[in-house]
Every structure is written in structure tokens, then in C-alpha cells.
Chains A and B, each alone.
Chain A
């Protein structure tokens, strides 16, 4: 067991190392950021001075080693455009993204589970077919377009919901959140719904498929034969087994949701890390781009690691199977 966990941790570290190399050197292939934000009357000497200030005059491998050394101390450099440490910018913006992602998760489960349940119980009804068709569309449609349609409908024509920004914030345990104010909720509604669509479609499909499988199993028949009331059979016995695949898939998808927040945040000008990335890309703010990518990849690798370890604790087959490879 310890060997399995150790192996997985080493693997995760290797992935992280490879990613730092890829991201760092990749970013250095693209244009020189100095040209972008030096003023037009800046002479050669002044350009050189900026280069020295930013540490860009050294060879790339030296820059990488410095970067790696700083990374070990949790320092990912200063943003070119903001002049503050990139990591502090990310920590400042991340709560907004996290709030959006969690809200999307809640919506996906809150809407997806009942719809999937209905579709699984009455597979032949018209409403079920509509639900399944919608989940198909949820899978296929690029989510940014859904965001556009929502803005057009609810902001431009109906004027019910604001199209951009995060709204009023309240501080809870030092964390700024918007879902506790009415204004914040109105701002949160459309971006969260847009981001949740993919997960929601997934939840609907998994619930429906799982329910149909579970309902024919012996233990459900046995529970019914024992006179357990129907709501308890469905809400407790069936639900317990249904939730396992759903929780697994959602856990694995959560990192993807944070990555996909880039799109949602750009549409709704949500002040999270994704919006920050797109802005950083347009001005070639290298340290910020690198910091974001390292941050997200790290989060992703950690998430996968935790899920793998939890799984191996729950299911010995995973552990033995991985040992055999």
C-alpha cells in the first residue's frame, strides 16, 4: 500500500516537473515581452535596462534554474503588467473562480439528479425524451454560445440579470463570497449555469443509466418484497449505489471545470483566474501565464492523486492492477 502511494506521488512529481519544463521553455519561444510595454521613444540602452531589470538578459537555462529555485519557495515571479508577485494575484483571484465552480457543481447536482431520476424511472415518457435530448445538446453545444444566448435573453431583452462582473461581496471567514447577497446571486446565476451545463448533462446520463441498472437488481426487488415504501427504495437504497459513479466522475471533472472557467469568465467578465489568464495572454505577461499554468496543473495532478489514493483504499483491485504494470 505504502509502495503504491509512494509510486503515485513520484509519478505526480514527475508530471509536474515535465510540465514546468514544457511551460517555461514553451513560453520563452514566443515573442519578447519588452517590445510590448516599452514606450516608443525608448532607446537601445533603455531597452537593455528593462531586460536586465526583468532578468531576461541571462541565458534561458539560467532563467529556468532561477525559476525552479523560486518555485520551490512558492515564488513564481512578478507579473510584468501588475508589478506584484504572480502567485499573490492568483490567490487573490482564485476564490472567485472557486465560487463559480462550486456553484456550477451544486447546480449540476441540484438539477441533474432529479431530471436523471425522472428519465430513469419513466424512460418512455415524452418528458424523459426531452430531458435526454437536452442533455445531448448540453454535451454538444460549445458552452460559450449558451452564455451568449443567456446574456441576450436575460440581460439585453428582459433586463433581469446583469451580464458582467461579480456583484456585491460579503466576507465569510476571511473569504469574499457573493452568493450570500441578492446582488451577488444575480451576478452568479448565468455564469454558474453556463459552466454547469456539461456536468449537468453528465449527471443526467449517469443517473438515468445507473437507475435503470439498479432497479432491476435483486436487492431492490428484495427491498420491495419486504414492503419497504417506494420513496425509501428510491431515495435511499437506489440512491446509495447511484451516487458512487456520479461522485467519482464529478471529482475527476472538477479540475476540468476550473480549466473551463476560462471560457465562462471571459464571457461574463467574472474576475477569476481564467479571465486573468486571457488578459495576461493578450499582453504577453509571461510570469502570470506561467504561474497560472503551473497552478492549474498542480491542482489537477493533486486532485488526480487524491482520487487515485482514495480509490486504492476503497478498491484493492486498483492497487494490485497498478502494481502489475
Chain B
């Protein structure tokens, strides 16, 4: 990858990505959902956190019912009389924030560990990779469960738990790519020019790890959102005052048996569409950026 070629490469990449109609649709869906989440306070008919605007008299209305003061609940209301559409928009916001924040922190930390391991080698590499192996040998849900039992509830705590279960994937991926790059001629040339090691690491090796990292990050983000929803569903993730999509589904679970499907099913559909669209985008990125990663 040579910097001077970048504009044309970007165009080639975009063309290749858009070559798959499924991936293009998935990308559009993801962008639309992100926008809806960002502008939730403007779009949502109701502020679900504002108790004054929520009327308990309106609870458990099926989709399309109208409230006493003329507001139509297109997607129904939940057990506390909250408008489902608004609750879902705000829930989507929280799910995305958690997925993005944990992904970015895990990416930064994992990348650092991976680069150090690859660049230093020797016992540092061996030790770090042992820790990574240990981390990856335990199922993510188990590690996250242990951490959340210890840490308690809260948006910061679930982000910590998700970072802990994710960083090792980034570390291992970056180490692998960095080792390959480290052995290339251009890095030898940079060494021959007596460039400082940190400069080689961050200006030469890191940029070449980015395509692979992008793929891993996308897939990890989908995983994180899904895991957060699962943990919240178990009552371990977020506090009930600010429900994410997972918590909304959990709240609706109690009403499922009595046939009030919309409270659980609708946030579930949103979650499903979100996670699947991110995964489809990730798959396409992998095919376009690095065909060797298929598998």
C-alpha cells in the first residue's frame, strides 16, 4: 500500500464494496439506524425517560391504538405506558453507544498489545500471547458474566466487561498482521534508514494493519451489541432506568405469555436487523479488503 495511490484505491474499494447489492442495502440500513439513534430526541414522539409525558393509563396498548390525549402509538406501548417507538429509538441509541465505545476501546488497547508483542518479540511476545490464549479459551459470555457479577450494573461497567472480552481478538489479529509486515522489505528499508522504532511501528506497520482491523472491528461490534443485549436480558447489564434494546426485550418477556407480543418482538426485530446488517457489511469488507481472511 503506497500513500500516493490512495485516492484511486479508495475509489476501487468503494466500487468493489458496492458491487454487492446485499452489502449496499445493509450499509444503508446501518447508516439509517445510526442516524435515527443520533437524532432520537428529535424524531421520537415521546421522551421515554420523562415520567411526566408517560401515562400509566396508556399501558399495554397494541400497535396503532390512540391514547386519551390523541397521540397515536404506532408500535403500541409497554407495561409502563411508554411509547414503544420512542423507547426503541432511545434503546437503539444505548445499544449503539455501548457497542461502539467498547469496540473502540478494545480496538485501541488490543492493537497496542498486538503491536508491542509483534515488535518486541521474545518473552514479551510469549507472555502477552499466553494471556491472549487464556482469554480466548474461556467463553465470552462466561467472562462477561463473572465481571458483571463483580462490577454490578451500569453503562460504564458493561463497557468494561465488553472491552475485556474483546481486546484479545484485536491483539491476536494485529500481532499476526504486524509480524508479516515486520518481515517485509519496506520495514527493513525503514530500519536501514535508522528511523526511530516508534515511527516505524506507527507510521509504517500500523497503517498496513488497518484493513484487517476494520474487518475485525465490524464483526466485533455486532458481537458486542448482541452480547450486551443478552446480558441485559439476564438482568446483568444496564440499569432498568435507561433500557437498551436487550432490556426492552426482557421487559416484554413477562407479557409474552399473555399474547402481548409487540413489547418483546419489536425491539428484537430492531436488534436483529442491526446486528445482521453490521455482519453483512463486515463480511463484505472482509471479501473486498482481504480475500485471504475468508473462512
Q: Does B272 have its Cβ within 8 Å of any Cβ on chain A? A: yes
Encode contact with B along A297-311: 1 for CB under 8 Å, 0 otherwise: 100100010000000
- A22 pairs with B259, CB closer than 8 A: no
- B257 pairs with A156, CB closer than 8 A: yes
Offer 9 A-B interface pairs, CB within 8 angstroms, sorted by A.
A137-B276, A142-B229, A142-B233, A144-B229, A263-B141, A263-B230, A266-B233, A293-B142, A300-B137
Q: Which of A140, A144, A255 contacts B222 (CB 8 A)?
A: A140
Q: Does A283 have its Cβ within 8 Å of any Cβ on chain B? A: no
Residue of A nearest to B277 (CB): A140
Q: Does B30 have its Cβ within 8 Å of any Cβ on chain A? A: no
Q: A15-B134, A148-B265 are in contact. Are A156 and B256 (CB under 8 A)?
A: yes
> Which stretch (B46-54, B145-153, B180-188, B206-214) binds chain A?
B145-153
Q: Does more than half of chain A's interface fall in helix, strand or loop, or is it mixed?
A: helix
Q: How far is A216 from B63 in the complex, measured between Cα atoms in Å?
A: 54
- B152 pairs with A30, CB closer than 8 A: yes
Q: Which of A136, A148, A282 contacts B279 (CB 8 A)?
A: A136
Q: Does A52 have its Cβ within 8 Å of any Cβ on chain B? A: no
> How far does the Cβ of B277 sit from chain A's closest Cβ, in whole Å?
9
- A140 pairs with B279, CB closer than 8 A: yes
Residue of B nearest to A267 (CB): B253
**Which residues of chain A come closer than 8 Å to B265, judged between CB atoms?**
148-149, 152
**Which residues of chain B come closer than 8 Å to A266, judged between CB atoms?**
233-234
Q: Does B45 have its Cβ within 8 Å of any Cβ on chain A? A: no
Q: How far is A282 from B152 in the complex, measured between Cα atoms in Å?
A: 11
- A297 pairs with B138, CB closer than 8 A: yes
> How far does the Cβ of A276 sit from chain B's closest Cβ, in whole Å?
13
- A27 pairs with B139, CB closer than 8 A: no
> How far does the Cβ of A206 sit from chain B's closest Cβ, in whole Å?
10
Q: Does B271 have its Cβ within 8 Å of any Cβ on chain A? A: yes
**Which residues of chain A come closer than 8 Å to B152, judged between CB atoms?**
30
Question: Besides the contacts A26-B146, A141-B275, A262-B234, what 4 more A-B pairs have beta carbons closer than 8 Å?
Answer: A144-B230, A152-B256, A256-B141, A263-B234
Q: Which of A274-309 contact B (CB under 8 A)?
A: 277-278, 281-282, 289, 293, 296-297, 300, 304
Total residue contacts A-B, CB cutoff 8 A: 108
Q: How far is A300 from B279 in the complex, measured between Cα atoms in Å?
A: 28
**Which residues of chain A come closer than 8 Å to B150, judged between CB atoms?**
26-27, 29-30
Q: Does A51 have its Cβ within 8 Å of any Cβ on chain B? A: no
Q: Which residues of B contact A (CB under 8 A)?
A: 126, 134, 137-139, 141-142, 145-146, 149-150, 152, 222, 226-227, 229-230, 233-236, 246, 249, 253, 256-257, 259, 261, 264-265, 268, 271-272, 275-276, 279-280, 283, 295
**Which residues of chain B come closer than 8 Å to A256, judged between CB atoms?**
139, 141-142
Residue of B nearest to A139 (CB): B279
- A142 pairs with B271, CB closer than 8 A: yes
Q: Which of A15, A137, A148 contacts B264 (CB 8 A)?
A: A148
Q: How far is A256 from B136 in the complex, measured between Cα atoms in Å?
A: 11
- A144 pairs with B149, CB closer than 8 A: no
Q: How far is A255 from B143 in the complex, measured between Cα atoms in Å?
A: 13
Q: Does A259 have its Cβ within 8 Å of any Cβ on chain B? A: yes
**Which residues of chain A come closer than 8 Å to B272, judged between CB atoms?**
137, 140-141, 145
**Which residues of chain B come closer than 8 Å to A15, judged between CB atoms?**
134
- A142 pairs with B138, CB closer than 8 A: no
> How far does the Cβ of B228 sit from chain A's closest Cβ, in whole Å?
9
Q: How far is A29 from B126 in the complex, measured between Cα atoms in Å?
A: 32
> How far does the Cβ of A253 sit from chain B's closest Cβ, in whole Å?
9
Residue of A nearest to B250 (CB): A144
Q: Which of B134, B149, B256 contacts A148 (CB 8 A)?
A: B256
Q: Which of A26, A149, A259 contacts B142 (CB 8 A)?
A: A259
